[in-house]
Amino acid sequence: MEIFGVDIGGTGIKGAPVDLDRGEPVHERLKLPTPHPATPEGVADVVVEVVRHFEWDGPVGVTFPGVVTDGVTRTAANMDPAWVGMDTAGLLTSRLGGRPVTVLNDADAAGVAEMTYGAGRGRDGTVILLTLGTGIGSALFTDGRLVANTELGHLELHGHDAEKRASVKAKEDADMTWERWARRVQKYLAHVEMLFSPQLFIIGGGVSRKPEKFLPLIEGIRAEIVPAQLQNNAGIVGAAMAARPAA
């Protein structure tokens, strides 16, 4: 079965049809810049452009970088404040000509994809996926079951939102070396580990393409740490999974 997945991020919006039997995009994904300001109408324009590029006419799954409940976006830390309280599923369904749209948290989507097809497949106990990018997204699983909308990137770390210190954007903004950034990520992981005692951390986001740059530099964490196998396609695949019609 093929379903379309769209992953909305703070810097880019990407999408493609996904083969849910294999857990991977059918075609090379299309990625377009996130508009700034990232207003609902502006982002919806880009989502429509991505979907129409593939001439898709069916269900669409969409991720959003914030808390999502019943298709309504509740937070928008790295997006325009107008998203808060928005019926995002309704907006995108309307803009996509009535195609049914399912919306969920971006890290939750990536986590579900990794637990089904990737680095978390077959793993029990507590597993935490962290997406490191414009912000830090999180997906928490216990024995394969998702605890939705955890938003652990907003834990306080040394008096700051953790994502303001340990995200890839923080690294780029401060022009940090990999070594300096890895120390910050290590402190963040230690804080999360203290709270949840996971058996496994899965590190996702675009930085998962370069695990050799930073993972060997992280020390003192008891949990196993691995890169996401689906890398930056995990959100697209998880979005498509969420939009699969009920049997």
Query: Are 76 and 130 within one domain?
Result: no
Q: Name the average pLDDT for the chain.
A: 96
115 located within any domain: no
219 located within any domain: yes
Confidence (pLDDT) at 101? 98
- Residue 211, pLDDT > 70, answer yes
- Residue 55, pLDDT > 80, answer yes
114 located within any domain: no
- Residue 241, pLDDT > 90, answer yes
- Residue 135, pLDDT > 80, answer yes
Query: Are 168 and 91 within one domain?
Result: no
Query: Are 78 and 147 within one domain?
Result: no
CA of 114: how far to CAs of 9, 61, 131, 228, 237, in Å? Answer: 18, 16, 12, 7, 9
Question: How many domains in the chain?
Answer: 2
Q: Output the pTM of the full model.
A: 0.95
CATH code for the domain in which residue 200 is found: 3.30.420.40
Confidence of residue 158 (pLDDT cuts 50, 70, 90): confident
116 located within any domain: no
Q: Is the peptide bond before 37 cis (omega within 30 degrees of 0)?
A: yes
pLDDT tens-digit map of 68-78: 999 999 999 88
Maximum pairwise Cα distance, the chain: 52
91 located within any domain: yes
| End-to-end CA, the chain | 12
Residue pointed to by tokens 């808390």: 67
Over range 121-140, report the average pLDDT. 96
Over range 190-203, report the average pLDDT. 98
Name the residue range of residue 18's domain: 2-107+234-242
| DSSP one-letter string for 69-81 | ETTEE---TTS-G
161 located within any domain: yes
Query: Are 91 and 177 within one domain?
Result: no
Over range 16-33, report the average pLDDT. 97
Query: Are 137 and 83 within one domain?
Result: no
Query: Are 35 and 103 within one domain?
Result: yes
Over range 196-212, report the average pLDDT. 95
Per-residue H/E/C for 186-244 = HHHHHHHHHHHCCCEEEEECHHHHCHHHHHHHCCCCCCEEEECCCHHHHHHHHHHHHCC
- Residue 247, pLDDT > 70, answer no
Radius of gyration of the chain (CA): 17
117 located within any domain: no
Bridge partners of residue 232, in order along the sequence: none
Supply the angle between the helices 88-95 and 40-53 in degrees, to the nearest 10: 50
